[in-house]
Structure 1
Amino acid sequence: MDISFLGGPRPQRGVGVVAPFDFALDRELWRWVPDEVSLHLTRTPFVPVEVSLDLARLVSEHETLSEGVRTLTAISPEVVAYACTSGSFVGGVAGERAMCEAMTQAGAVPSVTTSGALLEALTELGVRRVALVTPYTVSVTRALEEYVAEAGAVVTGCAYMGLTRHIWKVPYRDVADMARRAVRPGADALFISCTNLPTYDVIPQLEAELRIPVLSANQVTMWAALRRVGTRAVGSYQALIDPAARIYPTTRGGPVPPVLPDVPDVPEQEQQ
């Protein structure tokens, strides 16, 4: 059988991802990625620490990041992303920039972090006032508020879950409930923090309900990384990715975004 007409596999563009050891949402990251791009993930070494500021510092040490980037150099990614929100805001704005520099030096490619991508997304959408949702404890949540404020944005409201483990098991309905608690009049956008918190399907539903752009940690990470290789992330009815979804009647006038059907919950797994 002659299969020469297939022409072989299409050329792939690589995006390297360094994630914390407990990152569990590889498949969610792929949902923002177009067909011509491959994700190459590596993880930081395991440490026996629950989600906290201490863990954020441990998984964002420059030597740890550099080692992660070096493991990806053999497959020549065009950009490297550090997929952790708390690990990239724990050192403030200057700390986030230093992390990018360390990763770029280790791999000789452009680098982004989740928290840096958040600030980039706020600028892209012209957002000055943002509401926050986090799965974190109060201390980690306060550190995020300080990071956003340091960058010049105003935090209009915040809701947090107080979790220290198993964040990837949180169902969509809990994320949506927290979003409704966090968003108050005057917010220009909502940011849902933590790359281990599932958000892909809930974003368009919340945007249709709240009438403001909804950003999430994994979304902004993939959007910023793909932007650096000259391609677009995939995400219908997500304001950051789909310009047609950026018009809301309460703020800009024009057509109302379609009201989407309820999204299913992420299946809950037995707590360990």
Structure 2
Amino acid sequence: MDVSFLGGPRPQRGVGVVAPFDFALDRELWRWVPDQVSLHLTRTPYVPVEVSLDLARMVSEHETLRAATQALCAVSPEVVAYACTSGSFVTGIAGERAMCAAMEGTGEMPALTTSGALLDALEEIGARRIALVTPYTASVTQSLEDYLAEGGVTVTDRAFLGLTCHIWKVSYRSVVEMARRAVTDGAEALFISCTNLPTYDVIPQLEAELRMPVLSANQVTMWAALRRIGEQAVGPYQALLDPVARRGPASMSAHQVPLPRPAPPGEDGRGEPEAAFAGPPGAGSAETDPGDALDAPPYPDDPSGPAPL
């Protein structure tokens, strides 16, 4: 069969990603990427060190980042992202900027890191007081708080697991339970740290339940990298990606078309509210109990079972 009429493959835009050697969530990164963009991943060399401040420093040495960026240059990405939260916050804001400069000097392309993307994302959503969830030990978590404080961001409360390995095996259930513990009065957003911690499916669920924007390490990395080349990250009802989701449909202006009121359970076979994250308490209409739209759908089933605590 002659298929020459099909021509060549569709042109793709490239995003280079430098990940730590133990990164296991390639598939999660892809879920934020639109069809016209390809990810090109490479990893830092293996070192026999558990997750710690020492490891964070080792995987983010400038020579390591330069070598990884040089390898990516062969496929000509338009931007390169260092997808490691601890590695990019461990030396503070000045250290994060120096990492970007090292990658840009090697690849002659824009470069960013997860921790730099986090500060940009917090500015985008207007949050300066956040709750924090990490899989790290206390010392690594404290280093992240120090980095955020340097960037003018206050941590209102935190929850962490104290893990030093196998972070990618943490279940969604554990992430949700940590989030519930971390969010207290005064938080304007929640950040879930570590690019090796699965978060994609729980973000919209937590935003509905906690009634605030929820950011994660992989989410902000992909959002920032794609924005740098004029593309948009994709994802279901996430406040960072969709300005409407930041305030909920109940807060739409009069110039916007409101979402239709959901049918009562049983009438349409679904019984699910169409807007679980619907703005501040009391935003419901006079004919609808405001609490009716606030129940979050259950977070996704996680076949992996409980986290290895």
- TM-score by shorter chain over 0.5: yes
Gaps of 5+ in 1: none
Return the alpha-carbon distance in structure 1 between the equivalents of residues 105 and 189 of structure 2: 34
Cα drift, residue 5 of structure 1? 4.1
Cα drift, residue 250 of structure 1? 2.0
After the TM superposition, which residues 1-272 of structure 1 pair with which residues of structure 2 at under 5 Å, given as runs?
1-248=1-248, 249-250=279-280, 259-265=296-302, 267-268=304-305
Q: Counterpart of 2:244 in structure 1: which amino acid?
A: A
Question: Given the superposition, is the C-alpha separation of residues 187 and 72 from structure 1 closer, same or farther in structure 2, using an over 3 Å criterion?
Answer: same
Question: Given the superposition, is the C-alpha separation of residues 62 and 251 from structure 1 closer, same or farther in structure 2, using an over 3 Å criterion?
Answer: farther
Return the alpha-carbon distance in structure 2 between the equivalents of residues 134 and 191 of structure 1: 9
**TM-score of the superposition, structure 1-length normalised?**
0.95
Check conservation: 2:93, 2:147, Cα contact below 8 A.
yes
After superposition, give the CA deviation of every residue in 1:141-180 in whole Å (9 maximum; x if it has no partner). Answer: 0000000011001111111100000000000000000000
- SS of the residue corresponding to residue 241 of structure 1 reads coil
Return the alpha-carbon distance in structure 2 between the equivalents of residues 258 and 116 of structure 1: 34
Return the alpha-carbon distance in structure 1 between the equivalents of residues 126 and 60 of structure 2: 29
Cα drift, residue 244 of structure 1? 1.9
Check conservation: 2:128, 2:152, Cα contact below 8 A.
yes
- SS of the residue corresponding to residue 131 of structure 1 reads strand
Question: Given the superposition, is the C-alpha separation of residues 240 and 251 from structure 1 closer, same or farther in structure 2, using an over 3 Å criterion?
Answer: farther
Return the alpha-carbon distance in structure 1 between the equivalents of residues 161 and 150 of structure 2: 23
Return the alpha-carbon distance in structure 1 between the equivalents of residues 120 and 307 of structure 2: 37
- SS of the residue corresponding to residue 72 of structure 1 reads helix
Check conservation: 2:174, 2:306, Cα contact below 8 A.
no
Q: Structure 1 residues 52-61 or 254-263, which shifts more?
A: 254-263
Gaps of 5+ in 2: 249-278, 286-292
Q: Counterpart of 2:78 in structure 1: which amino acid?
A: E
Check conservation: 1:128, 1:152, Cα contact below 8 A.
yes
Check conservation: 1:188, 1:212, Cα contact below 8 A.
yes
Return the alpha-carbon distance in structure 1 between the equivalents of residues 160 and 233 of structure 2: 28
- SS of the residue corresponding to residue 14 of structure 1 reads strand
Return the alpha-carbon distance in structure 1 between the equivalents of residues 4 and 298 of structure 2: 44
After superposition, give the CA deviation of every residue in 1:51-109 in whole Å (9 maximum; x if it has no partner). Answer: 00000000000000000000010110000000000000000011101110110001000
Question: Given the superposition, is the C-alpha separation of residues 106 and 196 from structure 1 closer, same or farther in structure 2, using an over 3 Å criterion?
Answer: same
Larger radius of gyration: 2
Return the alpha-carbon distance in structure 2 between the equivalents of residues 252 and 108 of structure 1: 52
Check conservation: 1:169, 1:268, Cα contact below 8 A.
no
Q: Counterpart of 2:121 in structure 1: which amino acid?
A: A
Question: Given the superposition, is the C-alpha separation of residues 195 and 251 from structure 1 closer, same or farther in structure 2, using an over 3 Å criterion?
Answer: farther
Cα drift, residue 8 of structure 1? 2.6
